Structure 1
Amino acid sequence: VDTCNLMQRGEGMLIGSQASGMFLVNSESDDSPYVAARPFRVNAGAVHSYIKIGDKTRYLSELKTGDTVTIVDSKGKQREGIVGRVKIESRPLMLIEAKAGDRTLTAILQNAETIKLVGKDGNPVSVAKLKKGDEVLVRLEEGARHFGKKIEETIIEK
């Protein structure tokens, strides 16, 4: 998701395979040996994924130029961003799993050094270097969603 906004280190978007728990995926705000920083971009992963936008969720596959997205920092502060372009590419993917209490959260992200989650300390952590026991930032919600809006219902997401 390429935005019309610049993001800082520790800032990105909330993405996940379940609307009830999303990972803070860091913007491409850091330089790397492979590519220059692209602080306007969040490599958000597989098209089926949910993205948190305000108090709603949407599927990544629904986003288009001109849409509003929510940019979140490591402290939970939110601001609005505008989508400049959405790129859907075929890339190697990996499953990310996290435990939060008795819940298991998942996201499918590109398997690359430059794709990062935000760690507990607010610093980006490459998904390629994640190890069991590493702590990353997630947002948890209760209840279910219907057409992106929170509703009172029992739902099981696997």
Structure 2
Amino acid sequence: RPIEAQGAGFALEEGVDALVISADESMLDAAQSVKIQRMERKVEAPSPSGQRTTRLDLSVLEVEKVQEAGVGDRYCLDFLTLFEPGEGVLVGSSASSLYLVHSETIPSTFVPTRPFRVNAGAPHTYVLMEDGTTKYMAELESGDVLLAVKTNGDARGVVLGRVKIEQRPMLKITGINRRKTHQNANLSHVFMQQAETVRLITSESAAISITELKQGDLVLGWEGHDARHVGLPVDGGIEER
């Protein structure tokens, strides 16, 4: 059956060497799809040393202020794979300045670790996808592929399994990018749940709870350089505040 081609093609992570199929058009299409995915996987696979397939040039944002922001919809992103300590996803209210939010891989006094999860913020927030586009948090669906990023910029694609949305007290974190000087372009912000388990990553690659953030702290992020329209970079006079 066509639905079984995917399972055979990737069984035990390696897959079979060949598929013997009938001349049915649906079977031919399914086999061709598996072949293409196998070829893409060979191109994108990490080297034996564990090197990632992508590297981003991360930037440093200086915390300007942390403010209570009332109650809002908080999005937890649960993935089909486990994160490593020091790894998270890039999110922000402005597509040109995203913040690296740490995964829930660190033990807490109140709750166990959830190494498959990132508590990623509010529905309007941009999140960076594997293909370099962005999506609003509210647009995400199971099966989407986001970019998981480590503190050194190494990155990989991770498949989203589920989104958990709950109303929670939120904080607004405003940061300054000292490398930007044009009007308000150096200012950016992100809204996160007010909880000790929600963490950004400092410029020294240490996770820090957003409830402990203070003015002058330096955290890791990424400069998108361009404004976005339907997730794609565009030229023009778009300003996000």
* Higher gyration radius (CA): 2
Equivalent residue in structure 2 for 1:38, among 92, 114, 134: 114
Q: TM-score scaled by structure 2?
A: 0.64
Equivalent residue in structure 2 for 1:75, among 137, 152, 155: 152
Q: Note if 1:106 corresponds to 2:189.
A: yes
2:164 maps to: 87
Structure 1 stretches of at least 4 aligned residues deviating more than 6 Å after TM superposition: none
**SS at structure 1 position matched to 2:134:** strand
Task: Give the number of aligned pairs.
Answer: 158
Q: Note if 1:138 corresponds to 2:221.
A: yes
1:78-99 deviation per Cα after TM superposition (whole angstroms, max 9, x unaligned): 1010111101110000001110
1:39-64 deviation per Cα after TM superposition (whole angstroms, max 9, x unaligned): 11000011110001131100011111
Q: CA RMSD in A?
A: 0.9
1:85-123 deviation per Cα after TM superposition (whole angstroms, max 9, x unaligned): 101110000001110024011000000000000111111
1:21 maps to: 97
- Displacement of 1:141: 2.2
Distance (whole Å) between structure 2 residues aligned to residue 123 and residue 107 of structure 1 = 19
Distance (whole Å) between structure 2 residues aligned to residue 11 and residue 70 of structure 1 = 10
Matches within 5 A, 1:43-82: 43-53=119-129, 54-82=131-159
**SS at structure 1 position matched to 2:211:** helix
Higher helix share: 2
Stretches of structure 1 lacking an aligned partner (at least 5 in a row): none
Q: Which amino acid aligns with 2:107?
A: D
**% identical equivalent positions:** 40
Distance (whole Å) between structure 2 residues aligned to residue 45 and residue 36 of structure 1 = 20
